[in-house]
Structure 1
Amino acid sequence: MISTQQKLLSIAAHLGWIIGFPVLLPVLIFLLSKDDFVRQQAKEALCFQMAIVGAGIVLGILSFLLIGIPLLIIMGILASILPFVAAFKVLNGQKYSYPITGKYIAKKL
């Protein structure tokens, strides 16, 4: 059973981008928490947000060629929806792994 504190910290890691800390908040939660569930969810959120920032930079550069604009829109939609899905899953006491970066985390980290 996952405690309320574990849920709140995990949700905060996933939704840190709303308050303007997409990378900093998951890092802080990962470093300060001793709980394995919270650390795993913070790691998931951190890798996803770093991937979004990196892809945003690349697609921003590609938008000068006009190919990046539709991809930037799609990425923005995914970057807005997936953290809410993660927060909802964590709220229901389930582990969540992002479909894009989750496989990388399972293999490398």
Structure 2
Amino acid sequence: MNEQPLQLPTPNAEIRQWAMFCHLAALAGLLMPFGHVLGPLVMWLWKKNLDPFIDDQGKEALNFQLTVFLASLACYALLYVLVGFVLYGILVVYALVFTIIAGVKANNGQAYRYPLTLRLIR
């Protein structure tokens, strides 16, 4: 099931900026454990009522980071057969690249959908 992004008029600069922050808040994972999930969660809960675009992009960022978290658990389980090291490295690069792409798209006013993401929060 391929869900299409929310189609809304182009939001103003402030709304686009908050939507970008929802995506880039995942970089908090570089500073603290579980920050990649807590950053988008806090940002989304704080600003979701401000605009539908922020709500949509905040949920998308949170869903992606939850998917990354679940994938990292699988990588940790595979560390015992050594393939987990390689998979975890690929996962980190994948998450970083797509988080930055999503932040840029949101700042341009485009609703972004991460590939290979479980949509746990609707």
1:62 aligns with 2:71: no
Gapped regions of structure 2 (runs ≥ 5):
1-9, 30-34
Q: Which runs of 4+ in 1 moved over 3 A?
A: none
* Alignment partner, residue 38 of structure 1: 54
CA contact (8 A) 2:24 2:103 kept: yes
Unpaired segments ≥5 residues, structure 1: none
In the alignment, does 2:42 pair up with 1:28?
Answer: yes
- TM-score of the superposed pair, with normalisation by structure 2: 0.77
Instruction: Supply the distance in 1 between the matched residues of 2:39 and 2:87 (Cα, whole angstroms).
Output: 26
**Corresponding residue for residue 51 of structure 1:** 67
Q: How many residues matched? A: 106
**How much is the aligned-residue C-alpha RMSD, in angstroms?**
1.8
CA apart distance, 1:108: 7.2
What is the identity percentage for the equivalent residue pairs of Structure 1 and Structure 2? Answer: 30
What pairs with 1:67-86 in structure 2 (closer than 5 Å)?
67-86=83-102
Larger deviation: 53-62 or 27-36?
Answer: 27-36
Q: Comparing both chains, which one has the higher relative contact order based on Cα–Cα distances under 8 Å and sequence gaps of 6 or more? A: 2
Query: TM-score with structure 1 length normalisation?
Result: 0.85
